[in-house]
Structure 1
Amino acid sequence: MKVKKIHHVAIICTDYEKSKKFYVNILGCEIKKETYRAERKSYKLDLLVGGEYQLELFSFPESPLRQSYPEASGLRHLAFEVEDIDQAVEELCKENISVEPIRVDEITGKRFTFFCDPDDLPLELYEKSC
């Protein structure tokens, strides 16, 4: 077997409307499809990142919280590429989102930083290569 690409990343949120606003209005993801599944009392929101990559945002009543810090085993973070990291950080700060200081990747020389979504899922901004 040889996988070809990542199809989607699924995220379970605790407050659907708050997370929907964050991913759509703040990060600029595009809504592909929104479905309410009454039997599960759950929303599924398909989002496009950059017109191609898909995030699936789920809401389930009473989901257990996930340990993030100290760093737990499993998925470490989700990284988004941006053209201008300084501008992206400024936009997040205007939304009162706490952002770590920008660092430089010692291997690639690219700038990056971390912040969290409404459920404290660690997210990364990584500046696009020139």
Structure 2
Amino acid sequence: MNSCSSMASLLSPPPTIPLHPKANRTFLSSIFSNPPSKVCRNSSRIGKRHGIFSVTKAKTAVDGDVIEKQPVSLDDKNDYGVVSVHHVGLLCENLERSLHFYQNILGLEINEARPHDKLPYRGAWLWVGSEMIHLMELPNPDPLSGRPPHGGRDRHTCIAIRDVSKLKAIFDENGIAYTLSKSGRPAIFARDPDANALEFTQVDN
């Protein structure tokens, strides 16, 4: 091959693969309509999104022979206003026994403003900071035995506290079994009388 033919091969455009016109438009729009800076904006908001990713919506073309995926910007989704976790519902077999644990050992207070007579079962609402735990005296479908020894490997409710060492001393004084965080961070795990796993993680404020 001489130098002229080599230069011509370098200047000639690469072969193209024919695509459906609508597929071409979709491919290009997916590149330019959702740049990463737009997709991951506000990624720290709970309940919104995590990391960099895009969402596509499948749509059948008019001619019926191709599926067109239209990119949907995450910022176009309805923001329904996530504020916080309002409460966590926990099942208990005996309300008085559970209240002894949550009130007398953990020191939580009942929210007297929450009605009980409107529900067809006994229960209590306990303040956890500005949120609540709702104890419900109902049959528990979960087994009480055979649960993971470490509550962090089970369904659990996490409560932020200021002093893990003080709570550990309270558990020791009352004979409450517990495990510490496997990662070494200041957190302690325990179970209530109905084997509901609770995590208490230490925070600065």
RMSD of the alignment, in Å?
2.6
> More relative contact order in 1 or in 2 (CA 8 Å, sep 6+)?
1
Q: 1:58 aligns with which of 116, 136, 143?
A: 136
Pick the structure with greater CA Rg: 2
Q: Which amino acid aligns with 1:111?
A: P
Shift of 1:35: 5.1
**Higher helix share goes to which structure?**
2
Could you state the TM-score of these two structures normalised by the residue count of structure 2?
Answer: 0.51
Give structure 2 stretches of 5+ with no counterpart.
Answer: 1-79
Shift of 1:104: 5.9
How many corresponding residue pairs?
A: 119
Shift of 1:78: 0.6
Shift of 1:123: 0.7
**Higher strand share goes to which structure?**
1
Partner of 1:95: 174
Q: Which amino acid aligns with 1:14?
A: E
Shift of 1:3: 1.7
Partner of 1:112: 187
Could you state the TM-score of these two structures normalised by the residue count of structure 1?
Answer: 0.77
Give structure 1 stretches of 5+ with no counterpart.
Answer: none
Shift of 1:45: 0.7
Partner of 2:127: 48
Shift of 1:67: 3.8
Q: Which amino acid aligns with 2:167?
A: A
3-state secondary structure, aligned to 2:134: strand
Partner of 1:11: 90
Q: 2:164 aligns with which of 68, 78, 85?
A: 85
C-alpha distance in structure 1 between counterparts of 2:178 and 2:172, whole Å? 7
Shift of 1:64: 3.4
4+ long deviations beyond 6 Å:
none
Q: Deviations over 1:13-57 (max 9, x none)?
A: 0111010111111111111127554983x212111112x111111
Shift of 1:91: 0.3
Q: Once the two structures are aligned, what percentage of the paired residues are identical?
A: 25
Alignment pair present for 1:122 and 2:197: yes
Q: Which amino acid aligns with 1:115?
A: A
Query: CA separation of 1:84/1:56 partners in 2, compared to 1, >3 Å: closer, same or farther?
Result: same
